[in-house]
Structure 1
């Protein structure tokens, strides 16, 4: 019989982090220093699953469902995890499928006893997994005939396959650029632009805030203090880059916050000023990252990357979950492919 334990930050932090760091799916955002940087926003209900030998074989980062800004007092819904891009059962490496299935159903039984009615999870996409560790067993579990589950939402993420060398870039990546993208890049490269890494979010955060406010009447998910805190905690996973105009007193024209997920470079935020848009500064930044990614991430122990993720193009707070077509097209003009992110709801039988 498997046993389930509710995570306690003071008691279980070390064990949890060790499990995450030794796991092929243990991305930095599952570590407690990320998971709890904004703990006041969520009522945590993360779980730890142990086998019959009392060995930790699975963890589930999770919190109680939130309606608006208030916590659901009935504890009817549990979400993995509302404070993260992804959230799912993280199984011990090399655990057999049948053992995963037992752990999965033991967890659902635990949630049932605790009066939960449904569990929402967002599995890691395949490109977040190492090539020799790719595993889609969670999707089989979600379609087991002993449970009822449904897809709540599908998000379209734009991905670029990174070149292995300059020849690959010229013959594959650059050839996949649209005619307009090539024209924009020609203008950008003639404009004396340069890319710099910065350690301070305050150098550029206003650009991101103004872009989101102007285009969507929204604020970034993170505040400037929060993104700086995360950068300081995870210096090998979070990077800040800006594009400057050399001829205009090094004016910042564009910026990006980049998260590193094993073999994937993910642009978490990107924005440009009015002048930056005229000079195609963001196109310049992305082209440089595609062509010279190994130069910009030299301090990473293993800088062998396969993908550049440009993120999703969904319209936030939109009931129909429609796509921002202009943004999506802009990404496709880099030759980006579409990978789907699935959000599942599992009904927990009463």
Structure 2
């Protein structure tokens, strides 16, 4: 029988971990150590690495909180990422090894934040299936909205009408490496005003991440007569481009600036031959569990609905 064993991630594994992520079709730059560790002051890292004999065959970006292990609370999605050529028939044997590792580590449960299906990670779906077979419970399901570029765009005719009209308005769209104007003038005050919240990333953090991932993190701002009206921050994995932040000023709301900027970027990344354009979740703490207006807005921009499950497995 093939021997599997697990090691805790240590700083000396930095290069090996990143090489695995960069060589894997089933991982994104969010799993690289530079990205994970920008908020190391907020999370206690508990990432681990799975070996088949001496070969690294899987990694799990993770953090711990008391006796619970999470994959990873500081990331948009997670789970155990397997080597592309891993034999899925051996998944059960790996799961047994993971159970033993978690039990020995004193964990009471393992909570996995799955990747939405459009990221296309078949290995992770197989592992998710194994967790469910072993009585993992779905503790939460988020709705994620994304455009599938493999299908004809299905943008609402009203959105298209306003977009065509605004082509002659004089909007100017600029890509910039400087996040400060958008963060300070629009994103932070608007989030505080509308949702009593602040961006997950501080200005210093997003600037640092941009310096580490200049090809993956993009900032687009929209101006009219040199006035900043809206901005969108994108995370580009090469297959999926995701709008991480999008916000508009009061004047921008009057001119549909954010809508125009979204459609501009939807067309732009269609030409760049991405597979999906994700607009994130519509989750909200209310009776429905989601924001109805936001859901309608994203659907009218051409998004389909996908589900992201959060699974919890008790360790006995």
1:142 counterpart = 2:138: no
Q: Of the candidates 279, 302, 306, which is equivalent to residue 335 of structure 1?
A: 302
- The answer on whether the counterparts of 2:21 and 2:32 sit within 8 Å (CA) in structure 1 is yes
TM-score with structure 2 setting the length:
0.93
Q: 1:237, CA displacement in angstroms?
A: 0.6
**Contact 1:126 1:134 (8 Å CA) reproduced:** no
1:203 equivalenced with 2:192 (yes/no)? no
Report if the CA contact (8 A) 2:82-2:123 is conserved: no
**Aligned residue runs from structure 1 range 196-235, under 5 A:** 196-206=174-184, 207-235=186-214
Aligned mates of 2:45, 2:190 — CA distance in 1: 32
Counterpart Cα distance in 2 of 1:233 and 1:280: 33
Alignment-derived partner of residue 91 in structure 1? 82
Match of 2:91 among 79, 90, 100: 100
What secondary structure is seen at the aligned counterpart in 1 of 2:44? coil
Residue 252 of structure 2 corresponds to residue 251 of structure 1: no
Unpaired stretches in structure 1, ≥5 consecutive residues? 66-71, 296-302
Distance in 2, Cα, partners of 1:128 & 1:313: 18
For residues 84-142 of structure 1, give each alpha carbon's deviation from its aligned partner in whole angstroms, at most 9, with x where no partner exists.
Answer: 11110011111112323212220121111111110011122221137xx7763123212
Shift of 1:143: 2.0
Residue of structure 2 aligned with 1:190, choices 168, 181, 199: 168
Aligned to 2:144: 157
Structure-to-structure mapping, 1:271-350, within 5 angstroms: 271-293=247-269, 303-315=272-284, 318=285, 322-349=289-316
Q: Deviations over 1:284-304 (max 9, x none)?
A: 111111223266xxxxxxx43
Correspondence 1:116-131 to 2 at 5 A? 116-129=107-120
For the residues of structure 1 that align with 2:268 and 2:20, how far apart are their CA atoms? 33
TM-superposed deviation, 1:321: 7.0
What secondary structure, in the 3-state scheme, does the structure 2 residue paired with 1:79 have?
strand
Q: Find the counterpart in structure 1 of residue 237 from structure 2.
A: 261
What is the distance in 1 between the residues matched to 2:60 and 2:96? 13
Q: Deviations over 1:310-330 (max 9, x none)?
A: 111111xx3767111111111
The yes-or-no answer on 1:24 pairing with 2:25 is: yes
In 1, the alpha carbon distance for the partners of 2:23 and 2:123 equals 16
Shift >6 Å, 4+ stretches? none
Deviation at 1:40, TM superposition (A): 1.2
Contact 1:178-1:333 at 8 Å conserved across structures:
yes
1:279/1:332 CA distance change after superposition, 3 Å? same
Alignment TM-score, normalising by the size of structure 1: 0.85
**Which deviations, in whole Å up to 9, do the C-alpha atoms of 1:198-221 show, x marking residues without a partner?**
101102112111221111111111
Distance 2:84 2:148 in 1: 26
> Contact (CA 8 Å) 1:265, 1:309: kept in 2 or not?
yes
1:135 & 1:63 partners in 2: Cα distance? Answer: 18
Q: Aligned with 1:58: secondary structure? A: strand
Please report how far the alpha carbon of residue 23 of structure 1 lies from its aligned counterpart in structure 2 after TM superposition: 0.9
| Residue of structure 2 equivalent to 1:236 | 215
Give 1:276 deviation, angstroms: 0.8
Q: 1:319 to 1:254 in 2, by over 3 A?
A: closer
Taking a change above 3 Å as real, the CA distance of residues 347 and 321 of structure 1, as seen in their structure-2 partners, is: farther
The 2-side partners of 1:260 and 1:38 are apart by: 20
1:224, 1:188 → 2: CA distance? 30
**CA deviation profile, 1:3-41 (whole Å, cap 9, x unmatched):** 1111112x1101111111111112101000101111111
Aligned partners of 1:94 and 1:149: how far apart in 2?
A: 26
Structure 2: runs of 5 or more not aligned: none
